[in-house]
Amino acid sequence: LRRVNCQQVIEKIGIMSFNIRTASRWAESDGGDLRFGRSWRDRKSRVAKSIEISKAEIVGTQEGLAWQLDELVTILGSNWKRVGVGRYGDLSDEDEHTAILYDSTNIELIDSTDFWLSNQPQKQASIAWGASLPRIATVAHFRHRNVPEEKIIVINTHLDHASQSARTHSAKLLRKTAIALQAAVVMGDFNAPKDEEWFTEMTKDSTLLDAWPLATIKKTGS
């Protein structure tokens, strides 16, 4: 989603959301990644290639572990950087991130922060509203070389897969935060279709708009 009055800024920047799938031990074994030939070692180069082909300069990722994200940034090249902490902050096998990657060739990072999708958003690993796991959002404040007078604030997240209540309450928090920060983009893996309540909540009063139908260039991947 994007803010209603920032079309000109967004059109000058390639922005992408990408669930890169965790490389946790569960995903590799019980999740079937090794068995079906989709382990991280087999697909990391393809993930990087997808980003390169998209020409995105800012990429909101979901599910990445710290070492996994480091490998991806290394493949992308020395101009690529990342921000964002893990949901537990312990570098464990379950410490998924909503990291934001950016190409520092034209993108300058001003500041970044993280908050949890709960009624205690500054409390690390906090859970609320029936969520199955701690859910997190990463915020990055950027400036682009081609639009130096504009600060570009991006929020990237991953909503709960199990609880509709958690998704709805999380959407309320994300919308409130986006409005307060004047964020240009809110992106992520929302784990639900747009006919669910989270989307109605997020786009209430049209401060945030569905970016897809408004985009002049549309690219998808699987």
Q: Is 62 exposed, middle or buried (0-12, 13-18, 19+ CB in 10 A)?
A: buried
Q: Which residues of 193-220 are buried (b: 16+ CB within 10 A; e: fewer)?
A: eeebebbebbbeeeebbebeeeeeeeee
Cβ–Cβ under 8 Å, residues 62 and 45: no
Which residue has tokens 């964002």? 84
| Alpha carbon distances (Å) from 80 to 99, 107, 199 | 12, 10, 31
Q: Render each residue's pLDDT in the chain as its tens digit; 222 residues.
A: 877 666 666 777 889 999 999 999 999 999 999 999 999 999 999 999 999 999 999 999 999 999 999 999 999 999 999 999 999 999 999 999 999 999 999 999 999 999 999 999 999 999 999 999 999 999 999 999 888 888 899 999 999 999 999 999 999 999 999 999 999 999 999 999 999 999 999 999 889 999 888 877 777 765
Grouping H, G, I as helix, E, B as strand and the rest as coil, residue 40 is: helix
**The pTM is what?**
0.95
> Which ranges in the chain belong to alpha helices (H)?
7-10, 25-28, 40-54, 66-76, 164-181, 197-202, 211-214
pLDDT given for residue 7 in this prediction:
61
Strands 147-158 and 185-189: parallel
pLDDT given for residue 5 in this prediction:
64
pLDDT given for residue 200 in this prediction:
97
Beta partners for residue 209, in sequence order: 2
pLDDT given for residue 4 in this prediction:
64
Cβ–Cβ under 8 Å, residues 67 and 24: no
Our CA dihedral for 33, 161, 70, 100, rounded to 10 degrees, sits at: 140
